[in-house]
Amino acid sequence: MSSLNLDPKNNGKKYWKSLDELAEAPEFKEFVEREFPEGASELGTNVSRRRFLQVMGAGMALAGVSGCKPIRRPDLNILPYNKQPESLIPGVPQFYATTMSVGGEAVGLLVESHEGRPTKIEGNPKHPSSLGATGKYHQASVLGLYDPDRSKEPFKSGVNSDWGVFWKEADSLFAGYKANGGQGLHFLSGYIASPSLADVKAHVLKTYPKAQWTTFEAVNRDAQAQGIKAITGQALDPHYKFQAAKRVLSIDCDFNETESDHLKNGKAFVSTRNPDLGPEGMSRMYVVESNFSTTGGSADHRLRVKPSQVANVLILVAKELQAQGLDLGAWGSEVSALSADAAAAGVKPEYVREMAKDILAYKGSSLVVVGRYQPAQAHALGHILNSALGNIGVTVEYKPSVVASLNGETPSLEALPALASAMAAGQVETLVILDANPAFAAPADMDFAGKLGKVKHVIALASESNETTALSEWHLPLNHFLEEWGDGLAYDGTASLAQPLINPMYNSIGAAELLAGISGFPFRKSHDIVREYWRKQGGADFEHTWRQWLHDGVIPRTAHASVHPGSVAGALAKLPGAPKSGGVEMLFRHHPNLYDGRYANNAWLQELPDPVTKLTWDNAVLVAPKLADKLGISGAMLEKDLTGTLMAKYRHRPMVRVSVGGKSLEAVAWVLPGLSEDTAVLHFGYGRRSVGKVGTGSGFDAYALMSSASPYWAGDVKIEATGGQYEVACTQDHWSMEKRPIVREASLEGYEENKEESFSEEKWNEHPVDPQTGKEKSLWTEMPLKKGGDRGDYDFSVGQQWGMVIDLNNCTGCNTCLLACTAENNVPVVGKEQVMRGREMHWIRLDRYFNGDVDNPEMVFQVMTCQQCENAPCEEVCPVAATVHSHEGLNDMAYNRCIGTRYCSNNCPYKVRRFNFFNYTNQWKNSTLAMQKNPDVTVRFRGVMEKCTYCVQRINRARIQFKNKGQEMIPDGVVTPACAQACPTDAIVFGNINDPESRVAKLKKHPRNYGVLRDLNTKPRTTYLGKVRNPNKAIEKIAA
Amino acid sequence: MIIHRDDDPTKRPVLVETEDFHEVTDIITLPAEAKPTGTWVLLLLASLSLLSLMIGLIGYLFWEGIGVWGPNIPVAWGWAIVNFVWWIGIGHAGTLISAILFLFRQKWRTAINRFSEAMTIFAVMCAGIFPAIHVGRIWVIYFVFPIPNQMGVWPNFRSPLLWDVFAVSTYFTVSVLFWYMGLIPDLATFRDRATTKVRKFVLAVFALGWRGSARHWQNYERAYLILAGISTPLVLSVHSIVSFDFAASKIPGWHTTIFPPYFVAGAVFSGFALVSNLLIIAREVFNLKRVVRMHHIDNMCKFMLLTGSLVGYAYGMELFIAWYSGDIYERFAFWDRALGDYWWAYALAIGCNVLIPQLFWFKKVRFNLIATFIICIFINIGMWGERFMIVISLHSDFLPSSWGNFQPTWVDIWTYVGTFGLFGTFFLLFLKYLPQLAIAEVKGVMPVASPHYGEHDDVSPAALGSVGAKGH
């Protein structure tokens, strides 16, 4: 090889191409000269016409081929990591613990990250407020991170600016405040749950001693704090232990869904709802409310009274308990002095008597819970009853209030008016608003937005432009919690750390960083602020401890110890009690999906059906059927269906004008059975005026009707039909179950009598049963099962066979499963117009049925999704075999095979298949939203059918994991579908039904287990555990 | 082929009002040989605009997706399938008249069979469009054909939709063959009368060298008989299989064994109605009164009376069984059809398909062209209502939580209207360029065609007559 000439100058050739070339063979020389084999290079010399055309034709054809390339797939460069991040394997997601706080309560989370993109949020099982579950806001928050409407740069007076300009101006501005001690400087924030942020806040207030700090939350716990403080003398929060409560009295307390610590409370509550605990073990819940909440739906007895009478019912119960011999101790005379009239409240005295009797019988294991929108007196009275019943320490304990310790004790609705009047008086020169939107979320009569104009410098830190930033001098972009370091205290005081999952996507900043910047805090970066704060608490070997905390997400042993509450006499009468009743009453409540309006630009939450009304994209003035009659609008809203039950029918709903004390609002009306008489309910949070693309034009602004004196209740409300109409998008307008055996329900007594029969097909259905096999008769001989068949015909008695059981006793109807599924499975949002057309894409439908009297019905929920039938009706009708069975019993969809005949959906008795009528995924194209998508789940193009897969990607992930270990079988509990994982009440159990030891297999053998429409012989793999209520016989008689 | 057993001209209705073969040829060839009339041009332009509208809307559908139509979940099939079933039903009369009536030696069919066969083909074309374009991903529709492919997947032979593919394509192919087969002698007549070279050439190609020799006639008649034999089961099978789309499903209101005969009866019913409509118009416009006589219309009316009553029986039986079965879902589905949100479709079906055709009991009505024409239109509206009622049954099946209503979009409506453009365009072209009636067959039923014409003796049962293309 010594003759190898690598000198390019030598003969113009750098590399040899063959051995002949090396040898400089004459044939090779000629070959090189000719460049192409003989005949191929004659073009240049003597081109014939024919030859020319040949070559041109070939050239054009080839050009056409090359032209296809940029159309079909753009060039993409996939580059390896320059430096491989620690422990990152491409394709294998990583999970990090972090913390999210809403309304002053932190919940620990585990976030799934794919190559640096957080895609899915789960609960942190170690965190006491999560216990592995999540709420809706947590699930949806990951979409908020990628919201394309997020502010990317600081804005000055609505014009794009930059941080350099801001800090230059801020430095000179705050230098002035340093000099005058902060005179004229005001801060406004929501509830702070972060101790490190509170530390920075303290530093700010130290730096500017004359500065004022206002804490305002539209969804607050003021009444509770006031009531408990007055009666115990301490700033305490009640902590319920539902697991120990046998009798629960909920006074308008939606503890399953919208109250504090609802994830923990819901889980604890359903642990007592297992009918196998027997009459002594299963709890009984009484709910007194005017609105119809999901908690009211789970009640054994729901007493609906007018809003102004809810607290009075508690007084009646207290007096009745006293009369039945309960010693209220020092408060006895105070309670006797309270007055309440059963007739005015619309309750039968016998009802209260029986209820009190039942509660009294469970002294020491009963629980009275009072909702956040009830007056302070009711909270105090609730405490008195719990105390007298000996429940304290058993079913309820008290811990120092986190909100009070980090935010002070001034109620939101005293603080904000004070700030507003200071603004009006021109005492506020600079207002720094930290992640709050008072220009929208303050009661209208405060005219906060108008008064903002009198403030010289408004600096608003917010992740998106909103009503407040629109009126601000500076709008500074706020980090998403997944972009910054932080911490938070759970409701019980447990501290947990928040670590970023992604670098800030835009030029945004955290609240602590902003405060640190303007106050000269020693640390400027969120990491340093948090870490240095905790270093003080960490002790020796901090580095190791810190890493452990980050790993666990929870800082151990930081929960507050429970405190024995003091008792203050003479306070009860002074506390604000029930409002004076008058005419039609209206309740204002925060919306279970949008909270106080802050999530209005979150498309997942907008399209998530309201748990009770099933409305999407709008709120509505909810009125009871009778009130609708009185208003003369029921004809336009209600129709009797064929079986004579009323149902909400029309898409065009009447508009009504609601007038309250000089304020009025036009909004659409919606009939909701089960509301109390003469009651209307309007959720606040909708009707945002200045919001991103998603939230624009959705719903009606309830704040416009609220007054600062009595924000959540209004009496003497005038409602009149305007004659106008409005289109609403409702996902379920049919109320009745049509007497079909869909949700099967029994009373505890009936269930105890005959467990095997209570939910059986024999009782609920009349499908012929083959006497020999004991199974439903089939019209055809079912295909003999064979192993490894090419399609469908598998032996389901071998291997892992996936199945699911949904416990209807546990399901509270909160809808979180639906959101978790949306996040996990790249389910697109379709928008209001498409929902109105019946094309929502949610893989889970949370069915809500009303039972009984339309004025006072019971409500039941049922998670309905693909039942993974073994005899799947969808499979036999697909002409192209795009939906087929797997050997593990899954009904699979092959999206690439689907041509979209939609026959499968037609033939699905459960109607759980969803079709891409348009290319709904277009919304993700060239958008940050694409970053949220789960790479393990195919993004579906238009024209294909899709549906629940039992999260097959999770099954496969586990399969790979265990196969690598040499195990064929995945142990029970390893695979959890997204819905089951998020469910706060463990209603969904998934696993291998072939493993007799698995949870799901045991539940399948339970007498409560039944399959919906099993009489069609679909053999659903998803089955349900029938609902058992535990009614009080004496009350049933009275109520009837 | 045309076998006359009772050739006594005094004993049978006069099917052709002339005794001159040549006149028959003239009547039928005149439209093709004369200049197109203004009405025809106008109608063609109108049809072409509707056709282009349809093509445009289909393009829009392909570009945007099925969402431009009304379907949703639970009603995942909408107008597309309604129109498909309706058009394919209309397409039934052709084969019935060509094949079954032929086998039963119903000589009166000769005046209408060409017409109805043409109508069948164009109706099946209109029908065939819908299942093709209603799929979500049109670009992979070839998955439904059993083509060996690199994916190693066959279509699902258990799916009624796949049966549809085979049934409809077979039906279309056989119908076209049958139609073309019958056209050959007439095309030869046209060829022989052609005056221009181009016309002669084109017709010569399509006439396949027909000379009218006895041997030709023998082969022709044999082939025609065979094709009629093949087509006859198709008349029953196509709509039976279309009905399986519904009957083989699990949905209440769909899952009924009565569907195949009920659909076939309905199909023949609607097909006859449309044939009558077209015939009544063409008879006036092209002056075919002497060939298409009131006797034909009368027979058609009787057929509609029969099939309409069969359909009515099916409606009643369906309802009865829904009640008698005791199945709560089935009961509800039928109750819902009759009284629910789409009661108007049920009312249309009952009113137009069952009640109105009862007027055909009266001879006066049968012999009143205007009344017949209006009733036939009602029948087609009613049949569309019936198809709609069946498809839309989806809107409330098992779980009330999933119930939802269907609303068509403007694209649905105009695509449907556009199919009339397709139908009209082809039909007008047929009327202008092809023999509207089967010349040879009509001649065969003329009294003069009888070997015993002019005799007054009893006709010998063995007397056979066949007519060739001897009239020109």
- Quick one: which H or E segment has residue A288? strand A284-289
Res. A4 pLDDT band, cuts 50 70 90: very low
Residues from chain B that touch A741, judged by Cβ atoms under 8 A, are none
> Cβ contacts (< 8 Å) between B407 and chain A: which residues?
837
Chain B environment of A876 (Cβ under 8 Å): 156, 158-159, 248
Nearest by CB to residue A878, choosing from B159, B245, B328, is: B159
Locate B232 and state its tokens. 């006859």
pLDDT band at A661 (very low <50, low <70, confident <90, very high): confident
Comparing A148 with A54, which gets the higher pLDDT? Answer: A148
> Which of A971 and A767 is assigned the larger pLDDT?
A971
Q: Which of residues 630-649 of A touch B (CB under 8 A)?
A: 642-643
pLDDT at A465 over 60: yes
| CA distance linking residue B295 with residue B107, whole number of Å | 11
Q: Which residue of B has its CA nearest to A874?
A: B249
Distance from CA of A369 to the nearest CA of B (A): 32
Tens-digit pLDDT profile for residues A411-424:
888 889 899 999 99
Q: Which residue of A has its CA nearest to B255?
A: A907
3-state helix, strand, coil in chain B (%, to 5): 70, 0, 30
**Nearest of A532, A512, A514 to residue A194 by alpha carbon:** A512
CA atoms within 13 A on the CB side of A297: 26
The answer on pLDDT for A361 being more than 60 is yes
Sheet holding A1022-1025, edge to edge: A988-992, A802-807, A1022-1025, A1009-1010
CB-based burial label for B180 (10 Å; 0-12, 13-18, 19+): middle
pLDDT tens string, chain B, 472 residues long: the values are 343 444 444 455 555 666 677 777 877 777 777 888 888 899 999 999 999 999 999 999 999 999 999 999 999 998 999 999 999 888 887 777 778 778 877 777 777 788 888 888 899 999 999 999 999 999 999 999 998 888 888 898 889 999 988 988 888 898 888 889 888 988 998 888 888 899 889 999 998 988 888 999 999 989 988 988 888 888 888 889 999 999 999 899 898 889 999 898 998 898 889 888 888 887 887 777 777 778 888 888 998 999 999 999 999 999 999 888 888 888 888 988 888 888 899 999 999 999 999 999 998 888 888 999 999 999 999 999 999 999 998 888 899 999 888 889 999 999 999 999 999 999 989 888 888 887 877 777 777 767 776 665 444 444 434 343 333 3
Between CA A419 and CA A439 the distance in angstroms is 13
- Count interface pairs A-B at CB distance under 8 A: 182
Beta bridge partners of A95: A112
pLDDT confidence bin for A63, thresholds 50/70/90: low
Rounded to the nearest integer, the mean pLDDT of chain A is: 86
* pLDDT grade for A70, boundaries at 50, 70 and 90: very low
Nearest to A906 among B135, B137, B249 (CB): B249
Chain A residue closest in CA terms to B70 = A837
Q: Are strands A729-730 and A615-616 parallel, antiparallel or unpaired?
A: antiparallel
At residue A905, does pLDDT exceed 70? yes
How many of the other CB atoms lie within 10 Å of CB of A38? 9
- pLDDT of A776 over the 90 cut: no
Specify the pLDDT at position A773.
Answer: 66
Which tokens hold the place of B19?
């005794």
* B136/A915 CB distance under 8 A: yes
Q: Closest Cα partner for A946 from A975, A908, A987, A977?
A: A908
C-alpha span between A306 and A290 (Å, rounded): 6
Which of chain B's residues have a Cβ under 8 Å away from the Cβ of A909?
A: 250-251, 397-399
Could you give the angle at the alpha carbon of B444 between the alpha carbons of B438 and B449, nearest 5°? 145
The length of chain B, given as a count of residues: 472
- Residues 215-244 on B with a CB inside 8 Å of A are none
Q: For A306-347, how does the pLDDT look when each residue is reduced to its tens digit (9 = 90+)?
A: 999 999 999 999 999 999 998 888 888 888 888 888 888 889
Distance CA A942, CA A8 (A): 56
Task: Reply yes or no on whether the pLDDT at A639 is more than 70.
Answer: no
CA–CA separation, A1007 and A1010 (whole Å): 8
pLDDT tens column, A174-203: 999 988 988 899 999 999 999 999 999 999
The string of pLDDT tens digits covering residues A962-1008 is 999 999 889 998 999 999 999 999 999 999 999 999 999 999 999 99
User: How sure is the predictor about A46, in pLDDT bands with cuts at 50, 70 and 90?
Assistant: low
Instruction: For residue A47, name the pLDDT band (cuts at 50, 70, 90).
Output: low
- A838 and B73 within 8 Å at the Cβ level: the answer is yes
- Going by pLDDT thresholds of 50, 70 and 90, the confidence category of residue A755 is confident
Residue A623's contacts (CB-CB under 8 Å, 6 or more residues apart) are A631, A669, A670, A671, A672, A675, A679, A680, A719
pLDDT at position B461? 40
Q: Give tens-digit pLDDT for A227-254.
A: 999 999 889 999 999 999 999 999 999 9
Q: Is B158 on the interface with A (CB under 8 A)?
A: yes
What's the rounded mean pLDDT across residues A484-498? 93
A895 at B interface, C-beta within 8 A = no
Q: How confident is the model at residue A6 (pLDDT cuts 50, 70, 90)?
A: very low
User: Element (H or E) spanning A663, and its range?
Assistant: strand A663-671
- The mean per-residue pLDDT over the stretch A489-513 comes to 92
Contact check, Cβ <8 Å, A642/B66: no
User: Which amino acid makes up residue B462?
Assistant: A
The answer for B 397-416 residues in CB contact with A (under 8 A) is 397-405, 407
Residues 722-761 of A with CB under 8 A from B: 732-734, 736-740, 742
Determine, for residues A901 and B248 on separate chains, whether the beta-carbon distance falls below 8 Å. no
Sign of CA pseudo-dihedral A737, A743, A745, A751:
positive
Confidence of residue A537 (pLDDT cuts 50, 70, 90): confident
pTM value surpassing 0.95: no
Res. A10 pLDDT band, cuts 50 70 90: very low
Q: Give residue B456's pLDDT.
A: 55
The pLDDT of residue A444: 86
Taking CB atoms and an 8 Å limit, are B134 and A901 in contact across chains?
A: yes
Q: Is B155 on the interface with A (CB under 8 A)?
A: yes
Subunit contact A873:B250, Cβ cutoff 8 A: yes
The tokens describing A1036, both together, are: 């049933």
Tell me the β-bridge partners of A430.
A185, A457
**pLDDT at residue A352 in the model:** 92
Chain B segment 306-365 residues within 8 A of A by beta carbon are 326, 328-329, 332, 335-336, 339-340
A contacts of B153 (beta carbons < 8 Å): 880-881, 897
User: Which string of DSSP letters, residue by residue, matches A173-189?
Assistant: HHHHHHHHTSTTEEEEE
- To probe the interface with B, which of A743, A880, A921 has the most B CB atoms within 10 Å? A880
Higher pLDDT, A47 or B164: B164
Q: Which of residues 917-946 of A touch B (CB under 8 A)?
A: 917-919, 941-945
- A879 and B165: CB-CB below 8 Å? yes
How far B108 CA lies from chain A's nearest CA (Å)?
Answer: 42
CA pair distance A901, A884, nearest whole angstrom: 15
State residue B9's pLDDT score. 43
For A258-270, what is the mean pLDDT? 92
pLDDT at B10: 46
Of B136, B156, B400, nearest to A943 by CB-CB distance is B136
List of chain B residues whose C-beta atoms are within 8 Å of the C-beta of residue A738: 328, 332, 400
Examine the pLDDT at A398 and tell me if it is beyond 70: yes
For residue B156, list chain A residues with Cβ-Cβ distance below 8 A. Answer: 875-876, 878-881
Give the Å distances, CA to CA, from B38 to A247, A547, A678, B34. Answer: 89, 91, 71, 12
Shortest Cα distance, chain A CAs vs residue B164, angstroms: 10
Which residue from A minimizes the CA distance to B63? A918
Both tokens assigned to A948: 């629940």
Compute CA A535 distance to the chain's CA centroid, rounded to the nearest angstrom. Answer: 34
Band (A725; pLDDT cuts 50, 70, 90): confident
For chain A, counts of helices (H) and of strands (E): 36, 41
Answer whether B18 touches A (CB < 8 Å).
no
**Alpha-carbon separation of residue A372 from A187, A224, A254, A377, B221 (angstroms):** 26, 6, 9, 12, 91
Angle at B57 between CA B54 and CA B58, to 5 degrees: 85
The shortest CB-CB distance from B153 to any of A732, A897, A898 is to A897
Q: Which two tokens stand for residue A1040?
A: 């009837």
Please answer yes or no on whether A880 and B251 come within 8 Å at the CB atom: no
